Amino acid sequence: MGESIVDKKIGIVTIIDYNNYGNRLQNYASQQVLKKLGYETVTLKNEVAVSKQDKSLSEKIRDKKVTKLPSAVIKKIQYEMNKEFHKLRKECFIGFTNENIATSDYVLSDNRIPEGLSDRFDYFITGSDQVWNPRYRLGSSVDFLTFADKEKRVALSPSFGISEIPAKFQPSYKEWLSDFKALSVREESGAKIIKELTGRDAEVLVDPTLLLDKKEWLEIARESPVKPKGKYLLTYFLGNIRKADRAWIDKVAKQNHLEIVNLADPKDRDCFITGPSEFIDYIASASLVCTDSFHGSIFSILMETPFVVFERTENSKIQIGSRMVTLLKTMRLEDRHFNAVSKQADVFQMEFAHTGDIISKEKKRVEDYLTKAFR
């Protein structure tokens, strides 16, 4: 008898930093989607080596000699500098991963690839998340699956996170992207980057978290012991909150008698020490979600919780990322941007009836893409 689909094994490569809700939840979603298709999956632990340059930056930031760095880089370094403070939160993420995601007992890096790794799996998936963002991943070849046979390399909704690849990364990105069997991305700007670098067309697919329904997510949700007993407004900002935005949030909360829960603010330590399962429940139970986060928006849609999207503020720059623009456009929810919502009489009035059909069509597109890629 020939090999059945259930005997097929897929290795998933994604960011594993035990720090970001969207990262852990998209990893879980990718695993579940592939399992539904009949594949056994293992997420391959991987790391990007910290260079001497990164270490020197840590020392300079500690001495307050560096101020003009991308906020994501500063946050990452500050995280390393304050490990004790983040320890309990990290344990929540590790616990979620151990409980819900099958992972390898070895760790990959550019200079450490287990012998014969390509032969252990039928295919490899990279994505989703910002695995191709050179600011985060330093252009790691692992994220482009260069250790695997070319016919086994498949991209599932990865993100570049930026609109243009720096010149020094372009030659390697062009070579690595050209060698994929199947290419897809999470946002339209990513498809443009691939077209410009390789001439290839990449499908724009939704983030894997949208491929599981509300019931499936609630099965792994968990209520935090510090969650308010009454109604509350949830904020989840990965960038800085502008004073004007904070004032608007405070006003809405006060007028509607809502407690404010700041999920990503280390100053609110009880809420900050919250794992991915609690993140789902916090959004599902909120009266309103205010966020600049891609996955904060996605889970608001999935949980059918009214939400407002604010522009991300980093290094005094205000922006709304391409992946967010693509998400709101795909879901026909452009009116949930703060500039539009703030003009509405009732910010809690939101229609989700049409999103189900859109998500169903997007699920079919992903399933067709994967079915073709795994031939």
Measured distance CA(41)–CA(121) in Å, rounded:
9
- The pair of structure tokens assigned to 120 is 């252990």
Sorted by where each begins, the domain ranges of the chain are 5-211+359-373, 217-354
Provide the 10 A C-beta neighbour count for residue 109: 14
CATH of domain 5-211+359-373: 3.40.50
| The residue to which tokens 């969650």 are assigned | 227
Measured distance CA(359)–CA(298) in Å, rounded:
11
Residue 216's pLDDT is what?
98
Measured distance CA(231)–CA(325) in Å, rounded:
29
Task: pLDDT tens for the chain, 375 residues: list them.
Answer: 344 445 799 999 999 989 899 999 999 999 999 999 999 999 999 997 544 444 444 444 444 444 455 655 666 665 665 566 678 999 999 999 999 999 999 999 999 999 999 999 999 999 999 999 998 888 999 999 999 999 999 999 999 988 899 999 999 999 999 999 999 999 999 999 999 999 999 999 999 999 999 999 999 999 999 999 999 999 999 988 999 999 999 999 999 999 999 998 888 888 999 999 999 999 999 999 999 999 999 999 999 999 999 998 765 455 667 889 899 999 999 999 999 998 888 999 999 999 999 999 999 999 999 999 999
Measured distance CA(128)–CA(24) in Å, rounded:
11
217-354 has CATH 1.20.120 classification: no
8 A C-beta contact, residue 334 and residue 328: yes
Provide the 10 A C-beta neighbour count for residue 217: 21
Residue 62's pLDDT is what?
46
pTM over the 0.75 mark = yes
Residues in the chain, overall count: 375
Measured distance CA(134)–CA(166) in Å, rounded:
8
Residue 320's pLDDT is what?
64
Whether 5-211+359-373 shares its CATH topology with 217-354 is answered yes
Provide the 10 A C-beta neighbour count for residue 357: 9
Write the single-letter amino acid at 116.
Answer: G
